[in-house]
Amino acid sequence: MMNREWSAAEVLQNTPWLKRMNAQGNDVYIRPAEQERHGLVLVDDLSEFDLDDMKAEGREPALIVETSPKNYQAWVKVAQDAPAGHRGVIARKLAREYDADPASADSRHYGRLAGFTNRKDKHTTRTGYQPWVLLRESKGKTATAGPELMQQAGQVLDSIKRQQERTARLAEITAPRSVRRYRRSAVDDYRSEMAGLVKRFGDDLSKCDFIAAMKLASKGREPDEIAKAMAEASPAIMERKAGHEADYIKRTVQKVMELPQVQEARAELAKQTQKQRSRGPDLSM
Protein backbone atom coordinates (compact mmCIF):
# COMPACT_ATOMS: atom_id res chain seq x y z
CA MET A 1 0.00 0.00 0.00
CA MET A 2 1.38 3.41 -1.01
CA ASN A 3 0.77 6.26 1.42
CA ARG A 4 0.74 9.95 0.60
CA GLU A 5 0.13 12.80 3.03
CA TRP A 6 -1.52 15.62 1.10
CA SER A 7 -3.58 18.72 1.73
CA ALA A 8 -7.04 18.95 0.15
CA ALA A 9 -5.57 21.06 -2.65
CA GLU A 10 -2.85 18.48 -3.31
CA VAL A 11 -5.44 15.70 -3.52
CA LEU A 12 -7.20 17.62 -6.28
CA GLN A 13 -3.91 18.35 -8.05
CA ASN A 14 -3.02 14.66 -8.05
CA THR A 15 -6.43 13.41 -9.19
CA PRO A 16 -5.11 12.37 -12.66
CA TRP A 17 -2.46 10.19 -11.04
CA LEU A 18 -5.03 8.69 -8.63
CA LYS A 19 -7.33 7.89 -11.57
CA ARG A 20 -4.49 6.18 -13.38
CA MET A 21 -3.60 4.08 -10.33
CA ASN A 22 -7.26 3.18 -9.85
CA ALA A 23 -7.57 2.11 -13.50
CA GLN A 24 -4.56 -0.15 -12.97
CA GLY A 25 -6.45 -2.07 -10.27
CA ASN A 26 -5.57 -0.12 -7.13
CA ASP A 27 -8.14 0.99 -4.56
CA VAL A 28 -8.04 4.61 -3.36
CA TYR A 29 -8.52 5.32 0.34
CA ILE A 30 -8.44 8.44 2.50
CA ARG A 31 -8.30 9.46 6.16
CA PRO A 32 -7.46 12.64 8.11
CA ALA A 33 -3.72 13.32 8.35
CA GLU A 34 -2.10 12.03 11.53
CA GLN A 35 -1.19 15.48 12.84
CA GLU A 36 -4.59 16.93 11.89
CA ARG A 37 -6.80 17.77 14.87
CA HIS A 38 -10.23 16.28 14.18
CA GLY A 39 -13.13 14.36 15.67
CA LEU A 40 -14.03 12.02 12.80
CA VAL A 41 -14.80 8.34 13.41
CA LEU A 42 -15.27 5.79 10.60
CA VAL A 43 -18.09 3.24 10.73
CA ASP A 44 -17.81 0.67 7.92
CA ASP A 45 -20.13 -1.85 6.27
CA LEU A 46 -23.51 -0.25 6.95
CA SER A 47 -26.92 -0.72 5.34
CA GLU A 48 -29.49 1.96 4.56
CA PHE A 49 -31.43 0.82 7.65
CA ASP A 50 -28.32 1.26 9.80
CA LEU A 51 -27.93 4.81 8.52
CA ASP A 52 -31.56 5.59 9.32
CA ASP A 53 -31.07 4.24 12.86
CA MET A 54 -27.91 6.30 13.33
CA LYS A 55 -29.71 9.47 12.31
CA ALA A 56 -32.66 8.71 14.59
CA GLU A 57 -30.39 7.99 17.55
CA GLY A 58 -28.23 11.12 17.38
CA ARG A 59 -25.29 9.51 15.57
CA GLU A 60 -25.89 11.47 12.37
CA PRO A 61 -22.99 10.96 9.92
CA ALA A 62 -21.09 14.03 8.76
CA LEU A 63 -20.31 12.12 5.56
CA ILE A 64 -21.84 9.06 3.89
CA VAL A 65 -20.09 7.13 1.12
CA GLU A 66 -21.64 4.26 -0.85
CA THR A 67 -18.70 1.89 -1.33
CA SER A 68 -20.62 -0.72 -3.35
CA PRO A 69 -24.32 -1.06 -4.22
CA LYS A 70 -26.37 -0.62 -1.00
CA ASN A 71 -23.27 -0.80 1.19
CA TYR A 72 -22.04 2.28 3.04
CA GLN A 73 -19.31 3.88 5.11
CA ALA A 74 -20.13 6.74 7.49
CA TRP A 75 -17.80 9.30 9.00
CA VAL A 76 -19.30 10.48 12.31
CA LYS A 77 -18.04 13.77 13.72
CA VAL A 78 -18.14 13.48 17.51
CA ALA A 79 -16.27 16.72 18.30
CA GLN A 80 -14.19 19.42 16.68
CA ASP A 81 -11.09 17.80 18.17
CA ALA A 82 -11.13 14.33 19.77
CA PRO A 83 -8.01 12.50 21.05
CA ALA A 84 -7.12 9.26 19.28
CA GLY A 85 -7.96 7.20 22.36
CA HIS A 86 -11.49 8.60 22.49
CA ARG A 87 -11.99 8.07 18.74
CA GLY A 88 -10.92 4.43 19.04
CA VAL A 89 -13.35 3.73 21.88
CA ILE A 90 -16.21 5.44 20.04
CA ALA A 91 -15.42 3.61 16.78
CA ARG A 92 -15.66 0.25 18.55
CA LYS A 93 -18.86 1.27 20.34
CA LEU A 94 -20.57 2.34 17.10
CA ALA A 95 -19.41 -0.82 15.33
CA ARG A 96 -21.07 -2.90 18.06
CA GLU A 97 -24.26 -0.83 18.09
CA TYR A 98 -24.81 -1.03 14.33
CA ASP A 99 -23.23 -4.42 13.63
CA ALA A 100 -20.58 -2.73 11.49
CA ASP A 101 -17.15 -4.10 10.56
CA PRO A 102 -15.14 -4.47 13.81
CA ALA A 103 -11.88 -4.72 11.85
CA SER A 104 -12.37 -1.10 10.73
CA ALA A 105 -13.17 0.19 14.22
CA ASP A 106 -10.10 2.15 15.28
CA SER A 107 -8.90 5.74 15.44
CA ARG A 108 -6.81 5.70 12.25
CA HIS A 109 -8.71 3.59 9.73
CA TYR A 110 -8.91 4.44 6.05
CA GLY A 111 -12.21 4.99 4.27
CA ARG A 112 -12.81 4.81 0.54
CA LEU A 113 -12.45 8.01 -1.49
CA ALA A 114 -15.54 8.82 -3.56
CA GLY A 115 -15.07 9.26 -7.30
CA PHE A 116 -13.06 6.08 -7.85
CA THR A 117 -14.01 2.44 -8.39
CA ASN A 118 -14.10 -0.34 -5.81
CA ARG A 119 -11.60 -2.89 -7.11
CA LYS A 120 -12.61 -5.83 -4.91
CA ASP A 121 -13.16 -8.90 -7.08
CA LYS A 122 -16.45 -9.79 -5.39
CA HIS A 123 -17.97 -6.54 -6.67
CA THR A 124 -16.99 -7.10 -10.33
CA THR A 125 -20.08 -7.30 -12.55
CA ARG A 126 -20.69 -9.98 -15.15
CA THR A 127 -19.58 -7.53 -17.79
CA GLY A 128 -16.28 -6.91 -15.97
CA TYR A 129 -17.01 -3.52 -14.44
CA GLN A 130 -16.38 -2.38 -10.87
CA PRO A 131 -18.86 -0.19 -8.95
CA TRP A 132 -18.15 3.48 -8.41
CA VAL A 133 -17.60 4.74 -4.86
CA LEU A 134 -20.25 7.46 -4.51
CA LEU A 135 -20.65 10.40 -2.15
CA ARG A 136 -24.22 10.26 -0.83
CA GLU A 137 -24.23 12.90 1.93
CA SER A 138 -21.77 15.53 3.11
CA LYS A 139 -23.26 17.69 5.87
CA GLY A 140 -20.11 18.00 7.95
CA LYS A 141 -22.03 18.54 11.19
CA THR A 142 -21.18 17.23 14.64
CA ALA A 143 -23.51 14.41 15.69
CA THR A 144 -26.15 15.29 18.28
CA ALA A 145 -24.82 12.55 20.57
CA GLY A 146 -21.21 13.63 20.03
CA PRO A 147 -20.69 15.16 23.52
CA GLU A 148 -22.32 12.13 25.17
CA LEU A 149 -20.12 9.73 23.18
CA MET A 150 -17.03 11.70 24.17
CA GLN A 151 -18.01 11.58 27.85
CA GLN A 152 -18.66 7.84 27.72
CA ALA A 153 -15.33 7.25 25.96
CA GLY A 154 -13.56 9.21 28.69
CA GLN A 155 -15.17 7.02 31.35
CA VAL A 156 -14.08 3.86 29.53
CA LEU A 157 -10.50 5.12 29.26
CA ASP A 158 -10.47 6.10 32.95
CA SER A 159 -11.69 2.62 33.88
CA ILE A 160 -8.97 1.02 31.75
CA LYS A 161 -6.35 3.23 33.39
CA ARG A 162 -7.54 2.28 36.88
CA GLN A 163 -7.44 -1.41 35.97
CA GLN A 164 -3.91 -1.05 34.61
CA GLU A 165 -2.83 0.73 37.80
CA ARG A 166 -4.39 -2.00 39.93
CA THR A 167 -2.65 -4.71 37.91
CA ALA A 168 0.67 -2.89 38.16
CA ARG A 169 0.33 -2.45 41.92
CA LEU A 170 -0.60 -6.09 42.50
CA ALA A 171 2.32 -7.16 40.29
CA GLU A 172 4.66 -4.97 42.33
CA ILE A 173 3.33 -6.38 45.59
CA THR A 174 3.78 -10.00 44.49
CA ALA A 175 7.12 -9.46 42.72
CA PRO A 176 10.10 -11.40 44.14
CA ARG A 177 12.09 -9.40 46.65
CA SER A 178 15.22 -9.85 44.54
CA VAL A 179 13.83 -7.56 41.85
CA ARG A 180 12.88 -4.75 44.23
CA ARG A 181 15.03 -1.79 45.08
CA TYR A 182 17.67 -2.33 47.77
CA ARG A 183 16.93 0.88 49.67
CA ARG A 184 13.52 0.57 51.23
CA SER A 185 11.13 3.47 51.37
CA ALA A 186 7.78 3.54 53.16
CA VAL A 187 6.21 2.50 49.85
CA ASP A 188 8.56 -0.51 49.67
CA ASP A 189 7.65 -1.49 53.25
CA TYR A 190 3.95 -1.07 52.48
CA ARG A 191 4.15 -3.29 49.40
CA SER A 192 6.12 -5.88 51.33
CA GLU A 193 3.49 -6.02 54.06
CA MET A 194 0.63 -6.10 51.55
CA ALA A 195 2.15 -9.06 49.70
CA GLY A 196 1.51 -11.35 52.64
CA LEU A 197 -1.74 -9.71 53.68
CA VAL A 198 -3.34 -10.06 50.23
CA LYS A 199 -2.51 -13.77 50.23
CA ARG A 200 -4.05 -14.08 53.68
CA PHE A 201 -7.16 -11.93 53.39
CA GLY A 202 -7.77 -11.92 49.63
CA ASP A 203 -10.11 -9.21 48.39
CA ASP A 204 -10.62 -7.58 51.82
CA LEU A 205 -8.22 -4.82 50.80
CA SER A 206 -9.45 -2.34 53.41
CA LYS A 207 -8.43 -4.78 56.13
CA CYS A 208 -5.08 -5.26 54.39
CA ASP A 209 -4.61 -1.48 54.27
CA PHE A 210 -5.31 -1.12 57.99
CA ILE A 211 -2.93 -3.89 59.07
CA ALA A 212 -0.17 -2.73 56.71
CA ALA A 213 -0.49 0.84 57.99
CA MET A 214 -0.43 -0.44 61.58
CA LYS A 215 2.79 -2.38 60.96
CA LEU A 216 4.48 0.60 59.34
CA ALA A 217 3.45 2.85 62.22
CA SER A 218 4.77 0.31 64.73
CA LYS A 219 8.13 0.37 62.94
CA GLY A 220 8.37 4.13 63.37
CA ARG A 221 7.07 5.39 60.03
CA GLU A 222 5.52 8.86 60.26
CA PRO A 223 1.82 9.45 59.41
CA ASP A 224 2.61 11.39 56.23
CA GLU A 225 4.91 8.58 55.04
CA ILE A 226 2.20 5.98 55.63
CA ALA A 227 -0.42 8.12 53.88
CA LYS A 228 1.82 8.57 50.85
CA ALA A 229 2.56 4.83 50.75
CA MET A 230 -1.15 3.99 50.85
CA ALA A 231 -1.95 6.45 48.07
CA GLU A 232 0.79 5.02 45.88
CA ALA A 233 0.68 1.31 46.65
CA SER A 234 -2.78 0.31 47.90
CA PRO A 235 -4.31 -1.90 45.17
CA ALA A 236 -7.17 -0.25 43.24
CA ILE A 237 -7.61 2.48 45.84
CA MET A 238 -8.83 4.97 43.20
CA GLU A 239 -11.48 2.48 42.15
CA ARG A 240 -12.45 1.20 45.61
CA LYS A 241 -12.65 4.63 47.24
CA ALA A 242 -13.49 6.77 44.23
CA GLY A 243 -13.99 10.39 45.20
CA HIS A 244 -13.01 10.01 48.84
CA GLU A 245 -9.66 8.20 48.75
CA ALA A 246 -7.89 11.06 50.54
CA ASP A 247 -10.43 10.97 53.38
CA TYR A 248 -10.17 7.16 53.56
CA ILE A 249 -6.37 7.35 53.87
CA LYS A 250 -6.54 10.12 56.49
CA ARG A 251 -9.06 8.22 58.64
CA THR A 252 -7.14 4.94 58.37
CA VAL A 253 -3.83 6.52 59.37
CA GLN A 254 -5.47 8.45 62.22
CA LYS A 255 -7.08 5.29 63.65
CA VAL A 256 -3.81 3.39 63.36
CA MET A 257 -1.83 6.08 65.17
CA GLU A 258 -4.37 6.02 68.04
CA LEU A 259 -4.00 2.28 68.67
CA PRO A 260 -2.43 1.57 72.12
CA GLN A 261 -0.16 -1.17 70.71
CA VAL A 262 1.13 1.22 68.03
CA GLN A 263 1.79 3.96 70.57
CA GLU A 264 3.63 1.47 72.81
CA ALA A 265 5.76 0.22 69.91
CA ARG A 266 6.65 3.76 68.87
CA ALA A 267 7.49 4.71 72.46
CA GLU A 268 9.82 1.71 72.72
CA LEU A 269 11.52 2.67 69.46
CA ALA A 270 11.98 6.22 70.69
CA LYS A 271 13.49 4.91 73.94
CA GLN A 272 15.95 2.69 72.06
CA THR A 273 16.92 5.57 69.80
CA GLN A 274 17.56 7.80 72.79
CA LYS A 275 19.76 5.13 74.43
CA GLN A 276 21.81 4.74 71.27
CA ARG A 277 22.34 8.49 71.03
CA SER A 278 23.46 8.70 74.64
CA ARG A 279 26.13 6.07 74.00
CA GLY A 280 27.64 8.09 71.17
CA PRO A 281 28.66 6.79 67.74
CA ASP A 282 29.68 3.16 67.35
CA LEU A 283 33.25 3.15 65.93
CA SER A 284 33.77 -0.61 66.05
CA MET A 285 34.54 -2.48 62.82
All domains in the chain, ordered by first residue: 28-121+129-148 (3.30.70.1790), 173-275 (1.10.1240.50)
**Res 166: pLDDT:** 79
Four-CA torsion 104, 109, 115, 121, nearest 10 degrees:
-50
Q: What is the pLDDT of residue 192?
A: 87
Tell me the pTM: 0.62
Distance of CA 101 to the CA centre of its chain: 22
- pLDDT reading at 281 higher than 70: no
Segment 63-78, tens digit of pLDDT: 999 999 999 999 999 9
Taking only the tens place, the pLDDT of each residue in 263-276 is: 888 888 877 777 76
Whether the Cβ atoms of residue 224 and residue 271 lie closer than 8 Å to each other: no
- pLDDT of 195 higher than 80: yes
- Name, in order, each residue with C-beta under 8 angstroms of 225's C-beta and a sequence gap of 6 or more: 186, 216
Between 186 and 87, the more confident residue is 87
Distances in whole angstroms, Cα of residue 125 to Cα of each of 118, 128, 129: 11, 5, 5
Task: Give mean pLDDT, residues 130-152.
Answer: 96
Please choose, from the candidates 122, 104, 86, the residue with its C-alpha nearest in 3D space to the C-alpha of residue 46.
104
Closest Cα to residue 10, out of 26, 43, 33?
Answer: 33
